[in-house]
Amino acid sequence: MPTPPVAAKHPVTRTLHGDTFIDDYFWLREKDTEPVLSHLRAEAAYTDAVMAPFAGVIESLFNEIVTHIAEDDASVPVEDGGWLTWRRIAKGQSYPVHLRSRPLAKSGAPSSEEVVLDVEALAKGKAFLGIGDFEVSDDGETLLYSTDETGFREFDLRFRDIATQRDLTFMKDGAPQAETIPKVVVATWATKDTVLYIVEDDAKRPYRLYRHTLSTDPATDTLVYEEADARFEMECWRSRDHRHVIIESASKLTTEVRLVSAANPKASPHLVLPRKDGHEYHVETAGDRLFIRTNDRGHNFRLVEAALASSADVFRWKELRAHDPAVMLDDVHAFKGRLVLEVREQALPQLEVVDLAKRTTTRIPMREEVFEVSLEQNPSFDAPTLRLSYQSLATPRSVLAYDFATGAITTLKVDPVPGGFDPARYRTERLWVTATDGTRIPVSLVSRKDVPRDGSAPLHLYAYGSYGLSMPTMFSPARLTLLDRGVVYAIAHIRGGGELGKGWHEDGRLAHKMNTFTDFIACAEALVKGGYTSPQRLTIEGRSAGGLLMGAVLNLRPDLFKAAIVGVPFVDVVNTMNDPSLPLTITEYEEWGNPGIAEQYGWIRPYSPYDNLAAKAYPSMLVETSYHDSQVMYWEPAKYVARLRALKTDPNPLVFRIHLGAAGHGGKSGRYDRFREVAFDQAYLLWQDGVLTRGPDGAWRLP
């Protein structure tokens, strides 16, 4: 193995509530300074040297992944405002082109196509391109779209004349100026020439809503509303019937909603219900009727109906669905005469259709024991069918159409998986693991049917466990390269997520955060005990808040795992949450706690991965980040790796992969670049799993 770089130590003392911690690597926060860049370049060079012998394996895995991808592909056309819209991507292209056409009168098929936005052309010459907002005006003439070119999630909003494919300008001092608005988090049309948009502050908190008129100077835009409470972030979108723009201010525990008339965007916003700490409510509109998802009578939410004019009078709310402690009401979507509900029961997503006239509810049937179902794009308020997406860990994604009137389900498209894929070779299953406090934790698995259950198989265990987010059991063509080499893939649906309702989240945050980590360990132990794998062949992975999970469990039980991928990890929890100037910090207090408060410091300090590193043996690790990541700053994993190198007593590889160029929280942006990143990770896993072999020439090879 090459010799790893050694970071210089410049001790900084931190004392909180009588507890003193010496931080030798605080200096790595000094972004864009030569000492920091020099150290990060040394880490990148070390990673290149460690992984150089696997270059052939990475290339082979990349090529194999590509064989399972339909390189020439197109989405199913969707009718929207008299147009059929879809996207297409061609072999060799990293980005799609968005297209539209008028439907033929009788068949409904597309007529001649027209380009709305060619993202591949837009990305030419750019190392990174992220598309944020993408919405066509009601008259079909103008596209609003936003782009990020660094990965820092800093989006510029622009407006494009679809017919000419030129971005709009406005006149200033007799000369045309680019009509570009910086730092836009989200934007939506109100009328064909009026846009409402939200910008972020220096801490990347969406906090101001503006109104803009096309072909005018953005500097003259009108401030509509400013969110003064630093715990709250803003979001806006237009209702499906195009009658209102919905403006939501939300902290992790409380929400407040305002409505702006789309027909009269200069009117003052209508406050639905004043905020109250701990009350979360979300609004869907259909004309002057409001459908409100509220946790006022239970943390899994109930559904009520209210009149727009009297929305603040809770005594006049009409209950449509009572709170159910066993079923989480995740979301509500309004259509003409109907509601579509996204619910979650027994850690599985379900879709239900409510007929508002008949007051009946129908659950759309699913086909497998473990699956993932979600709504596709459904822009039309009075559409006769509902578009949905169905898949599982072993079943490729299908686009389905559910007929509201008859309940019939039609398959519109099954994503092609070339390269010899046969779903009959694979099995999926759901296990229930008992945690240390008796709580039952669901685990989803997929593997080849011929993989033995004698403890000899390699197994890769993934988890997240934060923010009430549920880990989807989605199909991945790229995962076939692991499954076909005998690797079992598993997802631990641990507390802190949302798989079993809001209580599942509450039992894995703040004072209860340690449950997230002990749940994961219990799942890993159960998989070993059940013969699915052994500690010598068990690899784990988590990203972002899941990277925090990795750091915590590796401190608690380093003996249980062979290797770990620690992606864009939130590992310096005390320092980050003690710095309110950083992006996300203040808004995150309700998820993690505020270390400035003694009691809450007592929650965080025992698990914060950076603070709890110790002089002991750790498994092999691949730690990954991007220099321009705006969600978890690069210095958290950089500090973590530096301190771990100085403390660990084992010879196991510790590889730190950092993108110093344009890349973000999710890595690079083009699809082929992403496939290469997946191939890199897989080569590392197969190396650590003992799956790779060496030929007579000593070169590593895939079996």
- Contact at 8 Å (CB) between 552 and 609? yes
Q: Band the pLDDT of 1: cuts 50, 70, 90.
A: confident
Q: What distance in Å separates the CA atoms of residue 329 and residue 389, rounded to the nearest whole number?
A: 19
Q: Band the pLDDT of 112: cuts 50, 70, 90.
A: confident
Task: Output the furthest CA–CA distance in the chain (Å, rounded).
Answer: 79
Q: Band the pLDDT of 697: cuts 50, 70, 90.
A: confident
What is the amino acid identity at position 405? Answer: A
Q: Band the pLDDT of 180: cuts 50, 70, 90.
A: very high
Alpha-carbon torsion angle 550, 555, 561, 567, nearest 10: 20
State the average pLDDT over residues 123-140: 97
Handedness of CA 231, 569, 28, 606 (dihedral sign): positive
| Nearest of 565, 535, 527 to residue 445 by alpha carbon | 527
pLDDT(281) > 90: yes
Q: Residues of the chain with pLDDT > 90: what percent?
A: 96
Q: What distance in Å separates the CA atoms of residue 400 and residue 645, rounded to the nearest whole number?
A: 50
75 labelled catalytic: no
544 labelled catalytic: yes
Strand partners, 124: none
Q: Band the pLDDT of 108: cuts 50, 70, 90.
A: low
Cα dist from 341 to 319, 354, 505, whole Å: 15, 8, 20
- Contact at 8 Å (CB) between 581 and 487? no
List the alpha helices (DSSP H) in 23-72: 34-51, 55-67
Catalytic position from the list 75, 444, 544, 630: 544
Return the structure tokens found at 549.
Answer: 């999970």
Q: Which SS3 state, helix, strand or coil, does residue 507 take?
A: coil
Relative to beta strand 459-462, strand 488-492 is parallel
- Contact at 8 Å (CB) between 192 and 184? no
What is the amino acid identity at position 104? Answer: L
pLDDT tens digits, 520-540: 999 999 999 999 999 999 999
Q: What distance in Å separates the CA atoms of residue 85 and residue 77, rounded to the nearest whole number?
A: 5
| Nearest of 391, 517, 504, 514 to residue 463 by alpha carbon | 517
Q: With b meaning 16 or more CB within 10 Å and e meaning fewer, what string describes 191-201?
A: bebbbbbbbbe
User: DSSP letter at 324?
Assistant: B
pTM of the model: 0.96
Q: What distance in Å separates the CA atoms of residue 582 and residue 576, rounded to the nearest whole number?
A: 7
State the CB neighbour count (10 A cutoff) for residue 595: 25
Structural domains of the chain ordered from first start? 421-701 (3.40.50.1820)
| Nearest of 576, 472, 465 to residue 512 by alpha carbon | 465
- Contact at 8 Å (CB) between 120 and 670? no
398: left (phi over 0), alpha (psi -120 to 50) or beta: beta
Catalytic position from the list 39, 212, 493, 665: 665
Q: Band the pLDDT of 181: cuts 50, 70, 90.
A: very high
Q: What distance in Å separates the CA atoms of residue 317 and residue 307, rounded to the nearest whole number?
A: 8
What is the amino acid identity at position 457? Answer: A
Return the structure tokens found at 309.
Answer: 């004019």
- DSSP collapsed to 3 states, 561-585: CCEEEEECCCCCHHHHHCCCCCCCH
**Residue given tokens 């988090």 in the structure block:** 185
pLDDT at 367: 87
pLDDT tens digits, 288-307: 999 999 999 999 999 999 99
As a 3-state breakdown, the chain gives helix, strand, coil percent values, each rounded to 5, of: 20, 35, 45
pLDDT at 331: 98
* Angle formed at CA 126 by CA 37 and CA 84, multiple of 5 degrees: 140
pLDDT tens digits, 313-341: 999 999 999 999 999 999 999 999 999 99
629 labelled catalytic: yes
Q: What distance in Å separates the CA atoms of residue 489 and residue 470, rounded to the nearest whole number?
A: 17
Catalytic position from the list 23, 148, 330, 629: 629
pLDDT tens digits, 33-78: 999 999 999 999 999 999 999 999 999 999 999 999 999 999 999 9
